[in-house]
Amino acid sequence: MPTPPWIARAASHDLDALGEFARWWLGTELGAAPIRNGGGADRFALLRWFAPAARSHQNQFILDAAPDDDDLVPFYEEAQANFTLSVDPTGVVWLDDSSAEVGGLVQQPMSLAQCLLQALLYECTMGADAVAFAWNVPIAIPTPFVARLTEVPIRPWTSGSARFYASDDVLAVVGANGDLFDFWLGAKTRPALDELCRGLDTASLEWG
């Protein structure tokens, strides 16, 4: 299936990719990304720039929070508050995962823009007009579906394993759940989802 051009920029031109994804999937024009002297984006300006694209279908974007006592600004929180992503004054993203065996803040191996893109991909998959999903299945179940898509080259957060995939009108998320996997498909239309699934074994899927 056709590959959206923003995917190629997700690793090296993250702000461009985030803006292009918002335009492609949501029809939201973010405009020029804020850049300060030295080439970095101010965290408050970047979150304000991103705000029109924020969608919260499963977890919650927090884009107007004040800094906490550690000067961290939270911007994304899991629905049951099991984890929170925050950004420090230098643009480094930190994960506070209360469900992890080892608690505390863990620095994330990606930029703020890449974290926002990853969170937005997840929310857009969950909130798509046509969805299909499977819980606790072997990796052999999602593999033929995502083989028809292109993987988004972003590393997962340190506490997770989610991998993201996309074509022109379908998104997918695959995440490990112990030795098994959870799998979601989200499409702009039901015909687009049907086309992706054509000829594949869909017996394990639930449809939304």
The predicted-structure confidence for 16-55, as pLDDT tens digits, reads as follows 999 999 999 999 999 988 875 445 568 999 999 999 999 9
Query: In this structure, is the dihedral angle defined by the CA atoms of residues 12, 9, 147 and 59, taken in order, positive or negative?
Result: positive
Asked if residue 1 has pLDDT above 80, the reply is no
pLDDT at site 97: 82
Neighbours of 91 (CB within 10 A): 14
pLDDT at site 9: 87
Secondary structure class of 166 (helix, strand, coil): strand
Is the Cβ–Cβ distance between 181 and 137 less than 8 Å? yes
This prediction has a pTM of: 0.92
pLDDT at site 57: 93
User: Residue 97: which H helix or E strand, with range?
Assistant: strand 93-97
Is the Cβ–Cβ distance between 4 and 19 less than 8 Å? no
Give the tens place of pLDDT for each residue, 73-126.
999 998 877 889 999 999 999 999 876 665 689 999 889 999 999 999 999 999
